[in-house]
Amino acid sequence: MKIGCPKEIKPQEFRVGLTPNAAHEAIAHGHQVLVETGAGTGSGFDDADYVTAGAQIIATAEEIFATADMIVKVKEPQAGERKMLREGQLLFTYLHLAPDPDQTADLLASGCTAIAYETVTDAAGGLPLLAPMSEVAGRLAPQVGAWTLQKANGGRGVLMGGVPGVGPAKVVVIGGGVVGTHAARIASGMGADVTVLDRSLTRLKYLDDVFGGTFKNQFSTPGSTAELVSQADMVIGAVLIPGAAAPKLVSREMLKTMKPGAALVDVAIDQGGCFETSHATTHADPIYEVDGIMHYCVANMPGAVARTSTIALTNATLPFLLALADKGWRQACADDAHLLNGLNVHAGRLTNYAVGKALGINVLSPALALKS
């Protein structure tokens, strides 16, 4: 199979879909790897590294899209890239379709088959291709939130850990999953007073058993959320419903109860955001203010630490990529129901129920898509 890896073109996206080591493995399996020139530079990989691995360097993305059987990326294809996708081509990347009707329409029109990293599952009910970036984003959230809190950036001017005689920042993390757990660990390590909100008592018991004394946790209700948000210096939104749009858990009305200059960090922005006032920003212009509250809503947070993120992501995606390349997508998905859960689009039909519900589009069963 010809595997194509174009350079990411989303603003300030420095990750790359394949490391040289991953390219070497695919080539060892008998496949041809085409990498756009400069694709790995942002992650610290030169063209020469890919050549040493056995890959072919291609001058333009257009040539890669025109010749590759499978396109491997990090972020969702941008409008210009979507025009280059073709019928029967396999796309393997993050998609986050639920809040993105334009991308969904373009993928359906292209006739391609698209498997989304974020909806591939595992036997434990987890999301193995989302988890590495959730870990990175969770660990970044307190770091960027602390920067947002600085007075020069419009924040309250509060130090996360305080100093002797001055209390620490109060941080509320909404969601106790992978993102929330990592965010709480880092925020606590910075010395903040941290509370994690979640609606699963099982998860709260786990957090208490493992991290009891490191940070607090509380059962999430509209009332408890509103109370803690009003007291917070920083709120980190870490809620995920696989494949679906994120629920809006902090309303604009609630902003009026918050301390002026408090910071909201919306890690769920890829899925539409969990704050009513959220809209996607970039690393070049990451924050904005609404009603005196500072919002950090960068849609590709892990891109800020591109080398760490690229290696972590490829560690997770490589086994699935090899299965798709070795067997073809139909047989690979037939053999692995968890990979089949990643199928979002095939031959002009949507194949993910959560996305279909969010966008009001009829869905073809993934099992039927295998036969079409």
pLDDT tens per residue, range 273-292: 999 999 999 999 999 999 99
- Residue 211 to residue 203: CA distance in whole angstroms: 12
Task: Name the residue ranges covered by the structural domains of the chain.
Answer: 2-119+306-371, 131-299
At 75, the amino acid letter reads K
Based on the number of CB atoms within 10 Å of its own CB, is 152 exposed (0-12), middle (13-18) or buried (19 or more)? exposed
Alpha-helical runs (H) found in the chain: 20-28, 47-53, 61-67, 79-82, 101-110, 131-149, 178-189, 201-211, 222-231, 252-255, 306-327, 329-335, 337-340, 353-359, 366-371
Report the percentage of the chain scoring pLDDT > 90: 94
- How does pLDDT run across 297-354, given as a tens digit for each residue? 998 899 999 999 999 999 999 999 999 999 999 999 999 999 999 999 999 999 999 9
**What pLDDT is recorded for position 222?**
95
**What pLDDT is recorded for position 246?**
86
Tens place of pLDDT per residue across the chain (372 aa):
999 999 999 988 999 999 999 999 999 999 999 999 999 999 999 999 999 999 999 999 999 999 999 999 999 999 999 999 999 999 999 999 999 999 999 999 999 999 999 999 999 989 999 999 999 999 999 999 999 999 999 999 999 999 999 999 999 999 999 999 999 999 999 999 999 999 999 999 999 999 988 999 999 999 999 999 999 999 999 998 777 788 999 999 999 999 999 999 999 998 899 999 999 999 999 999 999 999 999 988 999 999 999 999 999 999 999 999 999 999 999 999 999 999 999 999 999 999 999 999 999 999 999 988
Place of tokens 């890669």: 64
Which CATH homologous superfamily contains domain 131-299?
A: NAD(P)-binding Rossmann-like Domain (3.40.50.720)
**What pLDDT is recorded for position 245?**
80
Q: Which residues contact 143 (CB under 8 A, 6 or more apart)?
A: 186
- Residue 207 to residue 274: CA distance in whole angstroms: 22
- Residue 127 to residue 241: CA distance in whole angstroms: 11
Catalytic residue among 100, 270, 338, 346: 270
With b for 16 or more beta-carbon neighbours within 10 A and e for fewer, the 112-136 pattern comes to bbbbbbbbbbeeeebbbbbbbbbbb
Based on the number of CB atoms within 10 Å of its own CB, is 325 exposed (0-12), middle (13-18) or buried (19 or more)? buried
Catalytic residue among 96, 182, 338, 346: 96
**What pLDDT is recorded for position 242?**
74
**What pLDDT is recorded for position 213?**
85
The residues pairing with 234 across neighbouring beta strands, listed in sequence order, are: 171, 263
Give the rounded distance of the alpha carbon of 265 from its chain centre. Answer: 14
DSSP 165: T
Select the CATH number that applies to the domain covering 2-119+306-371 from these four: 3.40.190.10, 3.40.50.1980, 3.40.50.720, 3.90.1150.10: 3.40.50.720
pTM for this entry = 0.87
326 is an active site residue: no
Q: Which residues contact 68 (CB under 8 A, 6 or more apart)?
A: 2, 3, 4, 34, 89
Residues in the chain: 372
Based on the number of CB atoms within 10 Å of its own CB, is 223 exposed (0-12), middle (13-18) or buried (19 or more)? exposed
279 is an active site residue: no
